[in-house]
């Protein structure tokens, strides 16, 4: 099972990187979102899968899954959500101001 999820997160990373290298702003942001999905899946995999019941204390259950990676993922999810929302607004403003969403056409004078 860990092999399958590792390959899946690898594919997510690859598609994320491919999208990061595009010219359109929105595709770049989609790329970052895919990469963070890959990273989160990776944390879950690294905590080992299918070891027991969900980490909620119930009478009579012996084996629980590792709760720490879940806490790490939860933290990481909200952080990347915040950054992605900021990035979307930034991309919107930049494209409105410049009249283009192509990264290579964003201009501006530095010596002002």
Partner 1 sequence: MSNLAVLPILIPLLSGIIAALMNRKQRAVRVFSTIMMLVNLGVTAYIGWYVFQNGPVILETGGWKAPYGIILVGDMLAILLVITTNIIGLACVFFAPKSLSEKQESFYFYTFFFMLISGVSGAFLTGDLFNLFVFFEVLLMASYGLITLGGEKVQFRESIKYVLINLFSSILFVTVVSFLYSVVGTVNMAQIADRVQDVEQKGILTTIGILLFFVFATKAAVFPLYYWLPKSYVVPNPVVSALFGALLTKVGIYSILRMFTIIFVHEVDLTHQLFLWLAALTMVFGVVGALSTNNIKLIVTYNIIPAVGFMLMGIGIFTEVSIAGTVYYLIHDMVVKGALFLLVGAIAYLAGTSDLRKMHGLIHHYPVIGWLFFIACITLAGIPPFSGFIGKILLLKGGLAQDQIFIVIIGLITSLLILFSMIRIFIQGFWGEKDESFQPDKPKARAFAWPIGFLVFFSVFLGVGAEFVYPIVDEISNTLLDPSIYIESVLKE
Least distance to partner 1, CB of residue 79, Å: 5
In what helix (H) or strand (E) does residue 75 lie, and over which residues does it extend? helix 67-98
CB contact at 8 A, 106 and 94: yes
Decide: is 111 part of the binding site for partner 1 (CB under 8 A): yes
Using the minimum distance from each CB to partner 1, give the nearer residue, 59 or 109: 109
- Is 12 a residue that touches partner 1 (CB under 8 A)? no
Please identify, using beta-carbon distances, which residue of 61 and 90 lies nearer to partner 1: 90
Instruction: Encode 85-96: b = buried (16+ Cβ within 10 Å), e = exposed.
Output: eebeeebeeebe
| Cα–Cα dist 111/97, whole Å | 19
Q: Rule CB under 8 A: which residues touch partner 1?
A: 20, 25, 28, 32, 35-36, 39-40, 42-43, 45-48, 68-69, 72, 75-76, 79-80, 82-83, 86-87, 90-91, 93-94, 97-98, 103, 106-112
């Amino acid at each position: 099972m860990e092999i399958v999820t590792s390959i899946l997160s690898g594919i997510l990373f690859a598609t994320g990187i491919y999208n990061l290298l595009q010219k359109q702003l929105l595709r770049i942001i989609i790329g970052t979102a895919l990469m963070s999905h890959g990273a989160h899946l990776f944390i879950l995999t690294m905590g080992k899968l299918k070891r027991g019941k969900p980490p909620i204390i119930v009478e009579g259950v012996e084996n629980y899954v590792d709760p720490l990676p879940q806490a790490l993922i939860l933290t990481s999810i909200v952080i990347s959500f915040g950054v992605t929302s900021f990035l979307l607004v930034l991309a919107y403003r930049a494209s409105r101001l410049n009249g283009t969403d192509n990264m290579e056409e964003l201009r501006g004078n530095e010596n002002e």
